[in-house]
Amino acid sequence: MRTISVVPGDGIGPEVIEPALELLAFLGLDVKLDVLDHVNAETYVSTGRALTEADLDRVRGSAATLLGAVGDPRLGDTPYVREVLTTLRVELDLYANYRPIRLWHDKLSPLRDKTKRGIDCVIVRENTEGLYSGAGGNLSAGSSQEVAFDLDVSSYRGVSRILDFAFSVARTSVCVVDKANAVRHGGTLWQRCWREAVERHPHIDTTHLYVDTAAMRLVTDPTAFDVIVTNNSNGDILSDLTAGLAGGLGVAASANLNAATGQGLFEPVHGSAPDIAGTGVANPFAAVLSVALLVEHLGHAREAEAVRAAVAAAIEHDRVTPDLGGSLSTRQAGAAVLAELR
Ligand code: NAI
Ligand code: MG
């Protein structure tokens, strides 16, 4: 029996994880849960640390991890969120952030042109380097002369492996997105790694766009894309954009993966949403769709498709939370998906 470690986290994290775990239990797979419900802001406030070495060992020892969200308004300027998220991603070397987005129903699209609405693509975001590597500093901090700098780090190994990952999950095409015309050194490296990756994956179509153009193209015709691969910060921004083309953060799921070790952490794209935490209206679909990704990763593709079909049906029948135009609570929307599955 395989173990799934669960980090509910803060805010709406535990609220959306509850229906997600009910759904997982309903699927009746041969798995057991290891819930780390102390990995949260409370623990950070009282001990100064949220994720210990022992916690990491539990996560490492499990077949997959399900995370709700972390983040607390009291801890605004502290390294708390970074400590938890980055430690998990970096310690487990989960270099590939896989963010699929599909329009589950036409009514969720903000686009006017009906023929361009059907987005069904994946953002593959490099997860361990780029602008979020933490490298940087500041000169004359606090003075009127202060200069702050954050290094945008790209390594040959990091870029090559994320490109290989993107080609390996593509169905039809890979669009490489960078800003090589302005960010010169990293851009040159991405372009070189891309040329090499194309040689390793000759059967997949491939194109290139600068990130600003990609943002516009995604809004004018998202149907043109299959897999988009890009660095950490571009991927962060573009994947919120694609979420917005398909109903918003309430339906955006993600996986953090290492193709070599098979390790995976699955989580909704959204954060802890302190503005709605405790009110019972958070959309559980992103967490439920993250469970679909998780069970698919464990080899249960049929169950994953059934979960996705049930979410699509719940949306079709307007059994949804306020962010999607409905009036259901988190629990009711979770129950609606279960009802569709039955
Ligand atoms: P957020 O994703 O928590 O919220 C952004 C907006 O979307 C809010 O208006 C929120 O109410 C809404 N929203 C998010 N998820 C929703 C859902 N399931 N149903 C309905 N509405 C939803 O991002 P924000 O406000 O920038 O960050 C809040 C905290 O979460 C911060 O501490 C941040 O650092 C942390 N965060 C954590 C992440 C993670 O755990 N992976 C990812 C992003 C942010
Ligand atoms: Mg983000």
Asked if 139 and 232 sit in the same domain, the reply is yes
Cα(298)–Cα(76) distance, rounded to whole angstroms? 36
Q: Which atom of ligand 1 lies at the shortest distance from residue 12's CA?
A: 18
CA nearest ligand 1 atom 27, residue? 271
Number of domains in the chain: 2
Which one of 217, 245, 273 terminates a domain? 245
Instruction: Give the mean model confidence (pLDDT) for residues 234-251.
Output: 96
Long-range contacts of 202-209 (CB under 8 A, 24+ apart): 204/167, 204/170, 204/172, 204/173, 204/174, 205/172, 205/173, 205/174, 206/167, 206/173, 206/174, 206/175, 206/176, 207/173, 207/174, 207/175, 207/176, 208/175, 208/176, 208/177, 208/178, 209/175, 209/176, 209/177
pLDDT at 59 over 90: yes
Average pLDDT over residues 101-114: 94
Q: Look at residue 155 in the predicted model and tell me its pLDDT.
A: 97
**b/e per residue 53-80 (b: at least 16 CB within 10 A):** eebeebbeebbbbbbbbbbbeebeeeeb
Q: The domain spanning residue 292 has which CATH number? A: 3.40.718.10
**What backbone torsions phi and psi does residue 10 show, to the nearest 5 degrees?**
-125, 170
For ligand 1, whether the C-beta of 323 sits within 6 Å is yes
Stronger pLDDT, 134 or 325, i.e. the higher one: 325
Lowest mean pLDDT among 9-18, 128-137, 218-227, 283-292: 128-137
ipTM over 0.95? The verdict is yes
Ligand 1 atom with minimal separation from the 322 CA: 20
pLDDT at 77 over 80: no
Cα of 279 vs centre of ligand 1, distance in Å, is: 14
Average pLDDT over residues 234-255: 96
Across residues 46-59, what is the average pLDDT? 94
How far apart are alpha carbons 83 and 71 in whole angstroms? 11
Q: 68 CB under 6 A from ligand 1?
A: no
The mean per-residue pLDDT over the stretch 160-173 comes to 97
Task: Say if ligand 1 is within 6 A of residue 282 CB.
Answer: yes
Confirm or reject: Cβ of 265 under 6 Å from ligand 1. no
Ligand 2 mean position, distance from CA 240 (Å): 6
What pLDDT is stored for residue 82 in this prediction? 87
Q: From ligand 2's centre to the CA of 193, what distance in Å?
A: 26
Residues 114 and 240 occupy one common structural domain:
yes
Angle at 235 between CA 229 and CA 238, to 5 degrees: 105
Q: What percent of the chain clears pLDDT 70, i.e. is strictly above it?
A: 100
Q: Are residues 87 and 7 in the same domain?
A: yes
Confidence at 132, pLDDT banded by 50, 70, 90: confident
CA of 254 relative to ligand 2 center, distance in Å: 11
Ligand of minimum distance to the alpha carbon of 20: 1
Q: Tell whether 240 and 269 lie within a shared domain.
A: no
Q: Can you tell me the mean pLDDT for 272-287? A: 97
Host domain of residue 222: 110-245
- 235 and 150 both lie in a single domain: yes
The reply to whether ligand 1 has any atom less than 6 angstroms from the CB of 273 is yes
Could you tell me if 143 and 224 lie in one domain? yes
- The mean pLDDT of 296-302, rounded to a whole number, is 97
Specify if 273 maps to a domain.
yes
Residues annotated as catalytic (active site), given as ranges: 132, 179, 212, 236, 240
Together in a domain, 265 and 208: no
Q: Are residues 232 and 304 in the same domain?
A: no
Q: 302 C-alpha to center of ligand 1: Å? A: 30
The answer, yes or no, to whether residue 134 has pLDDT greater than 90, is no
**Ligand number with the minimum distance to the CA of 279:** 1
Ligand 1 lined by 50 (C-beta under 6 Å): no
122 and 230 together in one domain: yes
Q: What is the pLDDT of residue 205?
A: 97
Ligand with smallest separation from the Cα of 83: 1
The rounded radius of gyration (Å) of the Cα atoms in the chain is 20
What burial letters (b/e) apply to 82-105, b meaning 16+ CB within 10 Å?
Answer: ebbbbbbbeebbbbbbbbbbbbbb
Same-domain status, 146 and 19:
no
Shared domain for 78 and 117, answered yes or no, is no
Give the pLDDT score at 177: 98
